[in-house]
């Protein structure tokens, strides 16, 4: 069930935190969030999931900033939000969509317990001038059925600004867990004996064969 705007307003300050909150931004079943005046863009043409990808900051001036098509911009909401009772969801507004502006390329589905500013994955179909402090998206809230755990990821929780992708940490965690098995122990020894980093050793055919064997047999 989706909360009505009136129910959102009643819950603000207790079960729902939206800071700052303005009653004029309450919709029939959502609340409008505004765009901060900073953006991030990736510096490299080719991005790598396994590595941190460098970014540079852009400031949206009062007179506006021209966005280029086929380019990803990372922005954020001015509002800090959190809830430990409802599932927060984020969608673009119809008015921005009709200008060809996508506010969330993929990740509009939030987690109960997330606390922070929403990083926006901004993409435009046509060249478009945007401005700071505009109401670009809307947050709405679902009830949840059954027992649940609160979001506690260390990657994006309690952020203080725009966050670029930290997917590389998923690979780091995966590789760390693999080091606990026999193949991982062999990798550590191989890297030390050949004076290689773990990532360099991991690419070696002998190591790949050892991990393949472990995955098949568990030995």
Active site residue 7: no
Catalytic residue among 7, 91, 121, 178: 121
CATH number assigned to the domain with residue range 5-163, chosen from the 4 options 3.10.129.10, 1.10.40.30, 1.10.760.10, 2.70.40.10: 2.70.40.10
In order along its 219 residues, the chain shows pLDDT tens digits of 999 999 999 999 999 999 999 999 999 999 999 999 999 999 999 999 888 999 999 999 999 999 999 999 999 999 999 999 999 999 999 999 999 999 987 777 889 999 999 999 999 999 999 999 999 999 999 999 999 989 877 688 889 899 999 888 777 665 555 556 777 778 777 877 887 766 677 778 888 888 778 777 876
* Core vs surface per residue 60-85: b (16+ CB within 10 A) or e: beeeebebeeeeebbbbbbbbbbbee
**Domain residue ranges in the chain:** 5-163, 179-217
From 206, 168, 157, select the one nearest 176 (Cα to Cα). Answer: 168
């Amino acid at each position: 069930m989706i909360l009505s705007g009136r129910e959102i307003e009643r819950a603000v300050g207790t079960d729902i935190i939206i800071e700052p909150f303005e009653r004029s931004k309450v919709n029939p079943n959502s609340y409008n969030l505004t765009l901060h005046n900073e953006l991030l863009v990736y510096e490299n043409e080719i991005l790598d999931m396994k590595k941190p990808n460098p970014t540079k900051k852009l400031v949206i001036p009062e007179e506006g900033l021209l966005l280029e098509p086929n380019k990803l911009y990372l922005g954020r909401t001015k509002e800090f939000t959190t809830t430990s009772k409802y599932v927060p969801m984020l969608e673009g507004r119809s008015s921005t969509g009709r200008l060809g502006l996508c506010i969330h390329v993929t990740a509009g589905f939030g987690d109960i317990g997330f606390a922070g500013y929403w990083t926006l994955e901004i993409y435009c179909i046509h060249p478009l001038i945007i401005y700071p402090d505009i109401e670009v998206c809307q947050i709405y809230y679902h009830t949840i059925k059954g027992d649940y755990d609160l979001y506690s990821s260390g990657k994006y929780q309690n952020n203080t600004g725009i966050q670029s992708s930290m997917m590389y940490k998923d690979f780091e965690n995966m590789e760390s867990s693999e080091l606990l098995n026999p193949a991982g122990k062999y990798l550590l020894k191989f890297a030390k004996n050949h004076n290689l980093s773990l990532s360099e050793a991991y690419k070696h055919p002998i190591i790949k064969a050892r991990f393949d064997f472990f995955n098949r047999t568990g030995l």
